Amino acid sequence: MENGNFVYKGWKCNGFLALTLILVGLALGVCAIVFGAQRIDAGLAFGVGPVVTGAVWCLCMLICMAGFMLLEPNEARVMVFFGKYKGTFYETGYWWVNPFMSAKQISIRARNLNVDPIKVNDKTGNPILIGLVLVWKIKRDDIYKAVFEIDAPTTAGQTGVSATARMNILENFVGVQSDAALRQVAGCYSYDNNGVADDELTLRSNSEQINDQLEHTLNERLAMAGIEVVEARINYLAYAPEIAAVMLRRQQADAIISAREKIVEGAVSMVHMALDRLGNEHIVELDEERKAAMVSNLLVVLCADEAAQPVVNVADDQLPAVFLPQDSQKA
């Protein structure tokens, strides 16, 4: 039983009832001391006994005052009796237990951790900056691990650490493991689809799957400390400064090429539709040379960045008008 978490089943008492009994005990001890002192002053026998008994009784009551503890919701106390684990106390309220029992306070409330962006290399070797935010808490059934599996160094003369210091130690442990998990996951995927297969997961395009993988990795790393990751999300993702400008130009070039492909594809379909309708409806008869000229003019009009203006050839009325972009006319 000492190797795992279990509920404390030792003796306990309502704190208010115990406080009342201790105060009554102190009053009885004081009365005994006063009674013995009066007998000593009067020169009567049996005066020392009540004084000694009352003093010892008051000392015992003062020692019992150390047994009080207050538990709020989502808090627990790890009960240790002279180094032996006696269980974990979960019941909220005001309680009194054995004053020689060490009650280590631990919080099982959720906490946030924001991991600053770190520089790592993705799957293709590109340096990137990636940050993480996560929500974590201690598992209710694994408090034993959080207290006894993670080292909490103490300074000379101390017998333990405070609740705040213990939570800071756990938070530091979560931070170190989060950094390692983030590096591990980021190194398994590319920043984007450049240079990899289109169906391959990437950090930028598949954030939900990457976050699930990151959360799974964190839970595996933090299980030894009894810590559960409620949610983990990548909150910052960018190329490292030394390659950011180059990658931005590459993305702009990819966007321009993609837009050009769409424009050309639409222009070709429109030219094909125009030629089919002219032929099917017998609007005009065009030989191959005129079709070629018409295709050229339509592609110039549809694909040019600037608005195209017609240039009419008046020397030969058999030749169609030629469309030129405005920049060409200015030249």
How far, rounded to the nearest angstrom, does the alpha carbon of residue 254 sit from its chain's CA centroid?
A: 33
Confidence of residue 39 (pLDDT cuts 50, 70, 90): confident
d(CA 183, CA 196): 20
At residue 216, what is the residue type?
H
Q: With pLDDT > 90 as the criterion, what percentage of the chain qualifies? A: 41
Write down the pLDDT at residue 304.
66
Contacts of 153 (CB under 8 A, 6+ apart): none
Listed in sequence order, the residues at least 6 apart from 188 whose beta carbon sits closer than 8 Å to its beta carbon are 123
Which amino acid is it at 298?
A: L
Is 100's pLDDT higher than 70? yes
Long-range contacts (CB closer than 8 Å, 24 or more residues apart) made by 23-27 = 25/57, 25/58, 25/60, 25/61, 25/64, 26/58, 26/61, 26/62
> CA 200 → CA 192, 217, 226, distances in Å?
9, 20, 34
Query: Region 275-297: what's the mean pLDDT?
Result: 73
List the domain boundaries for the chain.
13-106, 111-239, 245-330
pLDDT bracket for residue 79 (50, 70, 90): very high
Average pLDDT, the chain: 82
111-239, CATH topology level: Tetrahydropterin Synthase; Chain A (3.30.479)
Q: Give me the DSSP letters along 158-192.
A: -SS--HHHHHHHHHHHHHHHHHHHHHHHHTTSBSS
Q: Which of 26, 19, 44, 48 has its CA nearest to residue 36?
A: 48
Q: What is the pLDDT of residues 151-172, one digit of tens each?
A: 866 544 445 678 888 888 899 9
- Does the pTM of the predicted model rise above 0.85? no
